[in-house]
Amino acid sequence: MKHLRVLLAALVAVLVIGGCASLDTAQRKAIFRVEEGAPRWSREAPAGTEVFDLKLGSETVRTWYLPAAAPSAPTLLYLHGARWNLNGSVFRIERWQQMGFNVLAIDYRGFGASSPRVPSEESAYEDARLAFEELKRREPRADQRYVYGHSLGGAIAIDLATRKDTQGQFAGLIVEASFTRIADLVREFKWGWVPGLSLLITQDFDSLAKVRELNKPVLFIHGTRDGVIPYRMSEQLYAAAQKAPASARQLLIVEGGNHSGFSTMGNAEYRATVERFISATQQVRSGRSS
């Protein structure tokens, strides 16, 4: 949680000294925390991956497309979290392909081979919307489109899924190890109680408010030993998603699971839960459930 401690320190400093022109930039750097180096698990795109760029004005968004073995497979839009780019997320991307999905994955601008910049909440949302248009082009069947986000990517996925222009255009949302909002994470720290601290936050990522309007199937996944984001936040998101179809509003809490790799620890349970969720989304789509 080092990057969030940096954010808290910046907020406290501003509260004490009365202002800081670079507060927004400092928050963006602390939240996205783009790592220049590669983690030891970083790898090149898996064999058979189509690597290309999506254009957004004069900038580009690096994109990977990994086809599944089955020609009729559903397609998943993969939205990664903070710190690591696509190369650092290969193990998780491959997992979804192994579970039977075509995977469309992006690096937000500021990450990897995408255009350099300091990412922001709004720029990440724009990148996700651009990727969703590519998802629709690649997968013409709305009932075979899924959106997945891990950690910070979960907040980006929730924003995408609750937009008016995406309603009815995907089958289900999967959110793993994510949070309610940045202000709630700040309160987890020693100085998080300081009055007015939340008013200084410029990057809200308020998933809790947005998920209340979600009317599509949703699966929340979290591990009990997550040292970055408390798993109760996924419980809170799940409880707030009351407009989602009851039979396809699901929550998986993995006992002992950590922030990044618990799908390997609880792989059988993880896979079985995803399979049940996909089945539930299809039942909702066909009108056999509500």
CA distance 262 to 107: 22
Q: Answer yes or no: is 200 within a domain.
A: no
Token pair recorded at residue 75:
């397609």
pLDDT at 6: 53
Q: Answer yes or no: is 29 within a domain.
A: no
Token pair recorded at residue 231:
């798993």
DSSP labels, 164-193 = GGGTTS-SEEEEES--S-HHHHHTTSTTTT
pLDDT at 206: 97
pLDDT at 185: 87
Q: Answer yes or no: is 120 within a domain.
A: yes
Q: How many distinct structural domains can be found in the chain? A: 1
pLDDT at 271: 94
Q: Answer yes or no: is 201 within a domain.
A: no
| Amino acid sitting at position 91 | F
CATH for 212: 3.40.50.1820
pLDDT at 21: 45
pLDDT at 289: 47
Full residue range of the structural domain in which residue 112 is found: 46-180+206-286
8 Å CB contact between 141 and 166: no
CA distances 66 to 30, 39, 105, 148, Å, are: 31, 22, 8, 15
pLDDT at 78: 98
- SS3 for 137? helix
Below-50 pLDDT ranges, the chain: 13-21, 289-290
pLDDT at 16: 41
pLDDT at 167: 86
pLDDT at 239: 98
pLDDT at 42: 85
| Amino acid sitting at position 270 | Y
Going by C-alpha positions, the residue among 162, 184, 287 that lies closest to residue 234 is 184
